[in-house]
Amino acid sequence: MTLICAPIMEKNMEKIPQIATEYTQRGADILELRIDAMENPSKAKVRELAANIQAPFIATNRLSTEGGLFKGSEKERIELLTAAAEEAEYIDIELQTKKEELKKIIELPIKKIVSYHNFHETPTLEILSRIVREEKRIGDIAKIAVMPKTMKDTLTILELSSKENDLIAISMGELGKYTRIITPLFGSPITYATGGKPSAPGQLEIEKTRLVLKELKPKEIP
């Protein structure tokens, strides 16, 4: 079953527990705690916040080069991410993370989503397949999010999804919006939906995503 994940893109840390409750009540199965969106986070604050979220969540501190908002050093980024790890269901870590910092995340006793984001283009199927193999080598779930320039680019994501398991594959933007509800038919473990502040272009609202997935769910033959 595909989980609907709602990213929390909120700079005021005090508001996040309430937003988490709201998104869950609206139909999110899991949340994404975007540490990079927070204003002046510290390890102690992130640890306390993670303990106060009463729902499963993915801890993410997205690199600026992959569409994130974090402006500190790699060491600081990984320390903040690690601070949320004890309470998180998953940690999302970018494949391009520096090796010494990536090793710290890999060694944590938590499930990992290893991700690749490209906001400029959609690489070839061969290149994406190679990236997915590398992500799966070090993580539990692979994630690919790319920007299409043509409809054919979006079909590359569908073909990739049809060949791989344990893969979240997304074609971003308006052109690729439909892939967010089609890849679950290929077994995508998670799809992302917005509760109000999208973390990437093309995200549908939580309620709409749940409704469409319910309609697309294969019906049992009598």
CA distance 81 to 86: 10
Q: Which tokens in the block code for residue 52?
A: 């106060």
φ and ψ of 195, to 5 deg: -100, -5
Q: Are strands 141-146 and 167-171 parallel, antiparallel or unpaired?
A: parallel
> Could you count the other beta carbons within 10 Å of the beta carbon of residue 37?
23
Identify the sign of the CA torsion 39, 86, 180, 96: positive
Polymer length in residues for the chain: 222
Q: Which residues are catalytic?
A: 117, 143
Q: Contact 55/20 with Cβ under 8 angstroms?
A: yes
